[in-house]
Amino acid sequence: MLRSMTTTDPAALFRTMLGEWEKMTNSVGGDMLKSEEWARTMHGASAATTNAQAAMKTFMERSLAAANMPSRTEFENLSARIGGIEDSLARIEALLGAGKTRPPGSSKPTRKRTPPEGKA
């Protein structure tokens, strides 16, 4: 460490300290991650998180049911159904639009308030 202080580079001390800190952290962290206790702790934390999420979901569903409000699942189902209806309407509109095309040069029907002569 004294060797790095005699250099003219002002950041050399910082780089040396950072390198040593990384080596120590990696060795301690590597040893810790290899231990059986760490694996059990992480497994327990993961299981606790999963259980808490499931409990919160159940709680929210019951709360929404008690308030007579739809749950997230019901909204998703409704959204899927609306999407299907919109797709069907788009297909119907496309089919109707395809039937309304006129060849060029054809005349449009006349729009009058009085009926054509002879049909009154």
- Domain residue limits, the chain: 7-66, 69-97
Higher pLDDT, 33 or 91: 91
- What pLDDT does residue 28 have? 85
Higher pLDDT, 105 or 38: 38
- What pLDDT does residue 9 have? 79
Cα–Cα distance, 13 to 19 (Å, whole number): 10
- What pLDDT does residue 43 have? 93
Cα–Cα distance, 104 to 98 (Å, whole number): 14
- Torsion from C-alpha of 22, 27, 28, 32, nearest 10 degrees: 130
pLDDT digit string, tens, across residues 18-60: 999 999 988 888 888 888 888 899 999 999 999 999 999 999 9
- What pLDDT does residue 59 have? 93
The DSSP H or E segment spanning 113 is none
What pTM did the predictor assign? 0.43
